[in-house]
Amino acid sequence: MDTEVGNPRQSRLKDFYANPWTQIILIRMICFCCPGMYNALGGLGGSGQVDKTVAANADVALLSATAATALFIVGPLFSWVGPRTCFLLGGWTYALYSGSLLNFNRMFYYNGAFVIASGAILGIGASMLWVVQGAIMTTYVEESQKGRVIAVFWIIFNVGGGVGSLASFGLNSHSKSGTVSDSTYIALMVIMLVGWVLGVFICSPPRIKLAQLHAAVESETYSLKETAKRSVQTVCT
């Protein structure tokens, strides 16, 4: 009797999990927690530090690493391991960057190299997140719904930066020091880690209940070598 009752419930749960809109909402929440909080951190000015040089150098390292890896490394990796593993490999780097600023704050500004290195690592992780985000947003829904999905995503994503900035303001409104408090970095780091953990629930494309996605998965399956070759052709042609 329990088995007969349990199977329909399990089926409904699987249907909910594999529903395209469930995955769209999930990636919105992930980006709210990870790059959204990173935007809040960047909006503090020099990532909340008196000396803006270290944060500026970390930003340069981040952008350079993103540009170097997004196409030639992360693209083939995504095709090989899928969206969930790709995100889990890179999503934790947001919390690492926030943690490096916390360490920099507590070490009285003697550990700038760690912040810059964390920025470079975050650049690789960010490219993984945005490749996953782009794939989910453009393939997990019907063509007629893509405009609505993308619009709502960017609203929620930017709300993340706004909420993070308001939280930072509340934590530092009475501070007389030139930097933000340790609790600001800790709070943002915890939210980023929550976003990373949510990545466990990302569903692989073959399980999504969308006919056009199944057809694309079946007709566009490439090996890692073929994917790398296509990446080079994209840049060179």
CA end-to-end distance (rounded Å), the chain: 62
Rounded distance, CA 164 to CA 40, Å? 5
Whole-number pLDDT of residue 218:
44
Structural domain count, the chain: 1
CA atoms within 13 Å, Cβ hemisphere of 61: 19
Q: Please report whether residue 2 resides in a domain.
A: no
pLDDT tens-place string over residues 216-229: 444 455 566 676 67
Is 4 part of a structural domain of the chain?
A: no
User: Which pLDDT does position 90 carry in this prediction?
Assistant: 94
Q: Give a yes or no: residue 199 inside a domain.
A: yes
Residue 219 lies in a domain: yes
Identify the pLDDT of residue 77: 87
Task: Report the pLDDT averaged over residues 86-94.
Answer: 95
Task: Please report whether residue 33 resides in a domain.
Answer: no
Question: Which residue range forms the structural domain that includes residue 178?
Answer: 45-230
Q: Is residue 82 part of a domain?
A: yes
Enumerate the H helices of the chain as residue ranges.
2-17, 20-33, 35-42, 52-69, 75-81, 83-90, 93-106, 112-139, 146-172, 182-198, 211-219, 224-236
Read off the pTM: 0.81
CB atoms within 10 A of CB 25: 15
Over 60: is that where the pLDDT of 4 sits?
Answer: no
In a domain, 101, yes or no: yes
Confidence of residue 213 (pLDDT cuts 50, 70, 90): low
**Cα 229 from Cα 40, distance rounded (Å):** 38
pLDDT at 222: 58
pLDDT tier, 93 (very low <50, low <70, confident <90, very high otherwise): very high
Region 192-215 average pLDDT: 79
Q: Is residue 96 part of a domain?
A: yes
- Which tokens belong to 216? 């694309």
Distances (CA, A) of 108 to 103, 114, 116, 118: 9, 13, 16, 18
Average pLDDT over residues 14-38: 88
Q: Domain containing 165 — which CATH number? A: 1.20.1250.20
What is the pLDDT at residue 156? 83
pLDDT at 198: 95
